[in-house]
Amino acid sequence: MLLMAAAFMPAIARSVDLGKLPSPEVITKHLSPIVSSQRYDRDGYVAESLGPITLDQAAIGLAILSSVGTAARQQAATGFGSWAPSSSSHAAASDKQPIAHAVGGKPAGRPVPFRHSLEFQPRETKEKCCSWAKTCYLSHLMAILKKNAFSRRVPDLVTEELVAVLSRRSSFEFKQLFDIVHENLRARNAASGGEEMLRLASL
Amino acid sequence: MARKCCGLRAYEKLQNLVARGAVKKNGKKYKGLPSALANAIAQQNGHLAGVK
């Protein structure tokens, strides 16, 4: 399990020497299957299990390990998100830019400043570089979207209608344009101003 | 009254679109530039420029 954890989190190798662990054959010699049984007994319910650890202990252990793993993953994802805007502030200009930046934009042998200080050699396959770059890019996007999720913004229906009318291939005077926009807003029951009027009334 | 308010708001929004280059003003006539309008509405709805 530790070996598996090390595969997902390279940082674990810094604090645990995985070479000192006994081989799987030695460990499995001391392990036996967990046998459990459940039955009704008079007014109660008896659950028994037999093995190196009980079934409950195994379940609790698995739950703890999975929660620790999830927390570590989330922390890693947050790390990518916080790193991305500082090093590529121009990344939002184009959606292909961050990927191109990681694939071809780095000089040979220079470490890419990811959270785990992964060093991408120039001879590595482009697919691998792309997958890391995409991961980083998605984390960056998630960070941005997460920030927007908390903003309290009223949908701008007037602009929406203006855009819808102006997208037709003809030019309008303001009065003409407003007549159409107002009709459309009335049809949507949005001509009264709604929350925007409430905001103005409070001023 | 409500119509007048709506008119003022619509005029303000229209001038914003003109300032952002999404609408071209020619004398008293306004003409929308479809690609710029699509970009403007996408940004207003919280989308990122260039992200599908």
Instruction: Going from the first residue of chain A to its last (203 residues), give the mean pLDDT of each consecutive group of 10, the final group possibly shorter.
Output: 66 74 79 80 79 82 89 73 44 43 44 43 48 48 50 71 85 89 85 67 66
First CA to last CA distance, chain B? 41
Decide: B30 and A177 in contact? Cβ < 8 Å: yes
Domain assignment present for residue B30? The answer is yes
Question: How far apart are the CA of B41 and the nearest CA of chain A, in angstroms?
Answer: 7
Give the integer Cα–Cα distance in Å for B20 and B43. Answer: 12
Q: Tell me which chain A residue has its CA closest to the CA of residue B42.
A: A160
- When pLDDT is averaged across residues B39-44 and rounded to a whole number, the result is 76
Give the integer Cα–Cα distance in Å for B28 and A173. Answer: 6
Within 8 A of B7 by CB-CB distance, chain A residues are 178, 182
pTM of the model: 0.36
For residue B13 the two structure tokens come to 């929004």
Predicted local distance difference test score (pLDDT) of residue A110? 47
- Predicted confidence (pLDDT) at residue B11 exceeds the cutoff of 60: yes
For residue A95 the two structure tokens come to 């959606």
Domain assignment present for residue B50? The answer is no
Predicted local distance difference test score (pLDDT) of residue A64? 92
Predicted local distance difference test score (pLDDT) of residue A124? 47
Give the integer Cα–Cα distance in Å for A11 and B44. Answer: 42
Domain count of chain B? 1
DSSP designation for A21: S
The answer to whether B16 contacts A159, with C-beta atoms less than 8 Å apart, is: yes
Three-class secondary structure of residue A182 per DSSP: helix
Give the integer Cα–Cα distance in Å for B24 and A199. Answer: 30
Indicate whether this complex's ipTM tops 0.85: no
**Domain encompassing residue B19:** 2-44
For residue A79 the two structure tokens come to 């790390």
Decide: A203 and A162 in contact? Cβ < 8 Å: no
Of the partner residues B14, B46, B50, the one whose CB lies closest to the CB of residue A162:
B14
Residues 6+ apart with CB under 8 A from A19: none
Q: Amino acid letter at A63?
A: A
Of the partner residues B6, B32, B49, the one whose CB lies closest to the CB of residue A167:
B32
A39 has which bridge partners? A46
Domain assignment present for residue B51? The answer is no
Cβ-based contacts under 8 A for chains A and B: 93
Query: Which residues in chain B (12-31) have CB-CB distances under 8 A to chain A?
Result: 13-14, 16-17, 22-23, 26, 28-31
Decide: B31 and A171 in contact? Cβ < 8 Å: yes
Question: How far apart are the CA of A195 and the nearest CA of chain B, in angstroms?
Answer: 13
Contact of B6 with chain A, judged by CB distance below 8 Å, is answered with yes
Residues 6+ apart with CB under 8 A from B36: B20, B21, B22, B23
Output B11 or A125, whichever has higher pLDDT: B11
The answer to whether A162 contacts B17, with C-beta atoms less than 8 Å apart, is: yes
Within 8 A of A172 by CB-CB distance, chain B residues are 29-31
Predicted local distance difference test score (pLDDT) of residue B52? 45
Q: Tell me which chain B residue has its CA closest to the CA of residue A200.
A: B5
Give the integer Cα–Cα distance in Å for B44 and B23. Answer: 15
Put the strands of the sheet holding B29-32 in their side by side order: A172-173, B29-32, B23-26
Domain assignment present for residue B33? The answer is yes
Output A153 or B25, whichever has higher pLDDT: B25
Give the integer Cα–Cα distance in Å for A137 and A141. Answer: 6
Angle at A36 (CA atoms; ends A34, A38), nearest 5 degrees: 170
Output A106 or B34, whichever has higher pLDDT: B34
Q: Amino acid letter at B8?
A: L
Best probe of the B interface among A90, A95, A174, A203, by most B CBs < 10 A, is A174
